[in-house]
Amino acid sequence: MAEQALDMGEITISDWYGHADKMAEVRFRTIAGRLPSLVRQAMKVAWRANPRDILCAVILNLLGGVFTAFGLLATTGVLTALFTAGPTLGRVMAALPSLALVAAAAAMRATLQAGAGWAQARLNPQISRLTEEQLYSLTSEVALVAFDDPDFHDALERATARGMYVASTVVTAAIDVLTAGIGLVAVAGVLSMLHPALLPLLLLAVLPDSWAAIRGARMRYTTEYALIPARRRKWIIGKLLAERGAAAEVRAFTMRGFLLRMYDAVAAAEQDVRLGLARRQTITRLIGEAIGGLGAALVYIALGLLLAVAAIPLAVAGTAVLAIKSAQTSLANLMYATNRLYEEGLYFTDFTGFLDLCTERHRPPSAGSATTALAGFERIAVDGVTFSYPGSDTPALSGVSLKIDRGEVIAFVGENGSGKTTLAKILSGLYQPDSGVVLWDDVDLADVHPDAVRLRTAVIAQDHTRWPLTARYNITMGTDKGEPALHAAAAIAGADDVIADLPHGYRTLLDRRFKDGHELSGGQWQRIAVARGFHRDADLLICDEPTAALDARAEHAAFEGLRSHADGRTVLLITHRLASVRYADRIYVLDHGKIVEQGTHEALMAEGGLYHELYTLQATAYQ
């Protein structure tokens, strides 16, 4: 059967290449114009990481430039001695003192550069640690609702995809720019000291090379930018061919040939583009070398004329040639470092901008002091609470009012999207209401730091986290209440049977990605999560679909444990399994963000409203 043309679809550019379009369009003049601010920004980061190391790196590079200039000047003395009249041995002996100075300068320059490299190598891990700690410190403190804001989420993606990883690269590139700049200044200073006419010759020698380098780099960058979607497509197809996740279906559906054809089509297209790039770069390099050769010829002609009119001695001309060669190397390094600093600086700006955004949003403006304590309650009262998610035109909660007395078992029921979980998050201090108040007795939670509320509540969530920690830490969450509290919580949740089957008991690491790690089933993880909530032993226990992943026997055991644990405690139960809420002291029925019914199970069934309808639907399914 003839092979059909492949529909390659469209692959968007990832956040890793989020600023590639800017780099493809910007000119080197713009890049150079931003150099001072980028260097200043990089130095501030390095200074916060370790002032001593950044000072060492900069000062040692500066001294290296001084010894570069000193070595060139000493070279003049060597050439002067060698070019004088007299026996060869005598000229060599006369050149030895200057030659010793050249060797000493070279040794000192190498030592200083090694020292600068060592300081720079020390900086990199310190900068990485600083930036990572900054990011994670702020992201773990920012208000939870920020993660529901698309703009915040996009900023987070840009910052974490590449932004926080380029800080050390930005500093390295800034130091490279300074080092190359110092090298150029050193050479220019030497030439101006030897003869003022030599300085224009330096420009004549380096400009053709700089044109070719900039043009070649621009070609390479624009081509790489155009190939980003193709490389991403290759990466995706390669993962399908080589990783475990898709391995079974690749074989079951005999996808190997199709995927290889698709991979080859993308690879062939990429190859053609790269071959074209190689041809254009070769032409550009030839043109640059031709112009550079012409420039070099003009330099040598100018040097010859200066020698002919006795404007400079032969030794100075020889030193000038060496200095120009050194300047060409420094210029190439400068252009590369400048381009790299600008590009990585764009991504680093994403990181610093996100830190500023987190600082603005790390806690609600109305939150109270972090030192404010919160005692237990006799009653929690919610009055007229309204809440909307960022970017949403429809409120998730609208004018909600309710009360919870200490020791009661309260249930929230309703269809998906009715606002049950949102209201529970407001009660637990995870969200702050847009309007209305939540009172613990006479204390308005708006005047209390959210952490003070969270310490008094425990949440058993349906979408609980599967922490890559030991079984013990998955229950205790870093607290230390002793062995009796740990075992009691596990027993109430039915997690003790799960842990008994683990190879290392409570010390078993619950993540198969690590050596000796162990993986649990969904139901086993659910029991661990329930034990986690019980272990906290909080004033308010919120159970959001706590048995969703359990089988019938385990669910029954979990609710029996919940009833025994709830004795004298305040429990808020959110569930779609209405048989589980029959014995609640009060049931609140939510619909489209509003409380439409409330009462006991018997009272709500007698009303014949939404609760009656939902309960009857579920009960009918079991008949």
Distance CA 223, CA 280 (A): 11
Phi-psi region at 312: left, alpha or beta (left = phi > 0; alpha = psi -120 to 50)? beta
As a whole number, mean pLDDT of residues 123-138 equals 87
Strand ranges for 177-222 from DSSP E: none
As a whole number, mean pLDDT of residues 380-391 equals 90
Q: Would residue 182 count as lying in a domain?
A: yes
Q: Would residue 215 count as lying in a domain?
A: yes
Question: 330, 361, 392 — which closes off a domain?
Answer: 361
Q: Would residue 186 count as lying in a domain?
A: yes
Q: Would residue 544 count as lying in a domain?
A: no
- Are residues 35 and 153 located together in one domain of the fold? yes
- Are residues 210 and 339 located together in one domain of the fold? yes
Distance CA 162, CA 154 (A): 13
Q: Would residue 558 count as lying in a domain?
A: no
Give buried/exposed letters for 425-436 (b at 16+ CB in 10 A, else e).
bbbbbbbbbeeb
As a whole number, mean pLDDT of residues 188-195 equals 79
Higher local confidence (pLDDT), 213 or 411: 411
- Are residues 469 and 351 located together in one domain of the fold? no
Distance CA 414, CA 400 (A): 14
State residue 598's pLDDT score.
92
Helix axes 314-361, 256-308, angle to 10 degrees: 140
Tens of pLDDT along 241-291? Answer: 888 778 888 888 888 888 898 888 888 888 888 888 888 878 887 887 787
Domain of 525, CATH number, reads: 3.40.50.300
CB 379 within 8 A of CB 441: yes
Helix axes 256-308, 228-242, angle to 10 degrees: 140
Domain of 129, CATH number, reads: 1.20.1560.10
pLDDT band at 11 (very low <50, low <70, confident <90, very high): very low
Q: Is the pLDDT of residue 8 over 70?
A: no
CB 77 within 8 A of CB 29: no
Distance CA 375, CA 453 (A): 9
Question: 361, 384, 410 — which closes off a domain?
Answer: 361
State residue 151's pLDDT score.
79
Domain extent for 171: 26-361
Q: Would residue 393 count as lying in a domain?
A: no
Distance CA 616, CA 607 (A): 13
Tens of pLDDT along 561-610? Answer: 666 666 667 888 888 778 778 888 899 999 999 999 999 999 999 998 89
Higher local confidence (pLDDT), 403 or 481: 403
- Are residues 355 and 475 located together in one domain of the fold? no
Average pLDDT of the chain is 80
State residue 568's pLDDT score.
67
Tens of pLDDT along 465-492? Answer: 888 889 999 998 878 788 898 998 888 8
State residue 594's pLDDT score.
92
- Are residues 344 and 486 located together in one domain of the fold? no
Helix then strand count (H, E) for the chain reads 21, 10
pLDDT band at 4 (very low <50, low <70, confident <90, very high): low
Q: Which 3 state secondary structure label does DSSP give 449?
A: coil
State residue 2's pLDDT score.
43
State residue 430's pLDDT score.
86
- Are residues 52 and 195 located together in one domain of the fold? yes
Helix axes 167-194, 35-49, angle to 10 degrees: 120
Distance CA 494, CA 526 (A): 10
Question: 521, 537, 553 — which closes off a domain?
Answer: 537
Q: Would residue 572 count as lying in a domain?
A: no
Higher local confidence (pLDDT), 603 or 208: 603
Q: Would residue 616 count as lying in a domain?
A: no
Q: Is the pLDDT of residue 1 over 50?
A: no
- Are residues 472 and 357 located together in one domain of the fold? no
State residue 13's pLDDT score.
46
Q: Which residues, in sequence order, are bridge partners of residue 138?
A: none
- Are residues 356 and 474 located together in one domain of the fold? no
Phi, psi of 153 (to 5 degrees): -65, -40
Closest CA to 546 of 463, 454, 426: 463
Closest CA to 144 of 447, 461, 390: 390
Amino acid symbol at 554: A
How many domains does the chain contain in total?
2
State residue 403's pLDDT score.
93
